[in-house]
Amino acid sequence: MQFEPRDQFEQRPEETRTDPGPRPRSVSQEFRWTDTPAALVEKYGTASGPELEANKREVRVAGRLVSLSLMGKMGFAHLQGAGKKIQICVKKTCRRAGISVVPPAGLGDSMRARAPVSNQDQ
């Protein structure tokens, strides 16, 4: 986009000087989350893997990316929100499995993910 000097801008007729305002948000930028990382830890922190498998629930969560580890076709990331951290596991082919993750630009950035809840610790 080319910017014009202020004196040239002020010489133009008034009707051509109006600012169109901000662009409308595209649908791809909108993300409606269902839970925060802190709420997920509170709800499912003590639940076992079989319990979560029996009650499949998809969540949409957004948080601050605090660590990222990529290993071949799989990656792990820690999302933080309200002082609590959750770990998400992302496969390279996750789009076909119904899991979506918007890739972040780097550590400290906001990240959003949609996936079923599971617990691999137990």
pLDDT, one tens digit per residue, over 5-60 is 777 777 777 666 555 555 555 545 677 888 899 999 999 888 888 888 888 888 98
What are the phi and psi torsion angles at 44 (to 5°)?
Answer: -115, 5
* Residue at 11 is within a domain: no
Those residues whose C-beta lies under 8 Å from the C-beta of residue 10, and which sit 6 or more positions away, are: 17
* Residue at 86 is within a domain: yes
* Residue at 18 is within a domain: no
Which domain range does residue 109 map to?
30-116
pLDDT confidence tier of residue 70, bands split at 50, 70 and 90:
confident
* Residue at 20 is within a domain: no
**Which CATH number is 68's domain given?**
2.40.50.140
- The C-alpha atoms of residue 117 and residue 10 are separated, in whole angstroms, by 57
Per-residue burial over 93-109, b = 16 or more CB atoms within 10 Å of its CB, e = otherwise: ebeeeebebeebeeeee
Label each residue of the chain as H, E or C.
CCCCCHHHHHHCCHHHCCCCCCCCCCHHHCCCCCECHHHHHHHHCCCCHHHHHHCCCEEEEEEEEEEEEEECCEEEEEEEECCEEEEEEEECCHHHHCCEEECCCCCCCEEEEEEECCCCCC
In DSSP terms, 85 is beta-bridged to 80
* Residue at 121 is within a domain: no
Q: How many domains does the chain have?
A: 1
Percent of the chain with pLDDT over 70: 69
Please indicate, yes or no, whether the overall pTM of this predicted structure exceeds 0.75: no
* Residue at 49 is within a domain: yes
Return the pLDDT at 1.
43
